[in-house]
Amino acid sequence: MRLQKFLAESGVASRRASEAIILEGRVSINGRVVRTLGTKIEPGHDRIELDGQPLKTRRKIYIAVNKPPGFLCTRKDPLNRNTVFDLLPPEWAHLVSVGRLDRDSEGLLFLTNDGDFVLHLTHPRYGVRKIYQAAVEGKVHPPMLKRFTQGIEDDGEILKAEKARTISATNSKSVVELELAEGRNREVRRLFASQELNVIKLQRIQIGRIKLGELPVGKWRTLTDTEIKSLLAPI
């Protein structure tokens, strides 16, 4: 097995990020620091260490969580605020979130120890779509949605929805569904802010082909093999 694949399967990082770790000289095989990419190892026979700590492959875990509002996606918070890891068994404290939802947002979030899975679902080149429902103050008009799908420049970035549709709209409140391919930082909120609209509730309801469905708020479930394969399948 190639060393970078072993690091990814140990939950260290994606294969690409693992390559950088190797080049930095942080990995040793049987006590010898290795900086050569593509180095082959024998799991279970060779002793692999990262920063002096031994590694071993872990059983891959894939979890779907219905994140409540008010919870952070970080493992620990210096202000001791709630995090999604408070919702999980203690033995899963080593998992990482696949992308993030900001503290006030809610809905579908994946956690895993598979670095390649994280990369596939978060890197723009794979184009895995995420669908959000946003409740906003005020009325959303069709020209606004057209601007969303054409793309809006904000702080040096192009924010863009692949699809946008109004679910309901009154003069005081609208509910809009947006489908994103890249998912830049706080992208949905920034899109609406560009139209001077304030988001009062933001929920992610789908990632790839996996829907939030009936998963209760604050609860989790494991992804099935079929669901995992569907998420990794070419678009």
Q: Which residues of 11-44 are buried (b: 16+ CB within 10 A; e: fewer)?
A: bbbbbeebbebbeeebbbbeeeebeeeeeebeee
**Catalytic residue flag (residue 154):** no
Report the amino acid identity of residue 218. Answer: G
Report the distance separating Cα 155 and Cα 152, nearest Å: 10
- Do residues 121 and 161 make contact, with C-beta atoms less than 8 angstroms apart? no
Q: Considering the candidates 102, 104, 154, 225, report the single residue annotated as catalytic.
A: 102
Q: How wide is the angle at C-alpha 117 spanned by C-alphas 106 and 93, nearest 5°? A: 60
Backbone dihedral region of 47: left (phi > 0), alpha (psi from -120 to 50 degrees) or beta?
beta
Residues assigned a catalytic role? 102
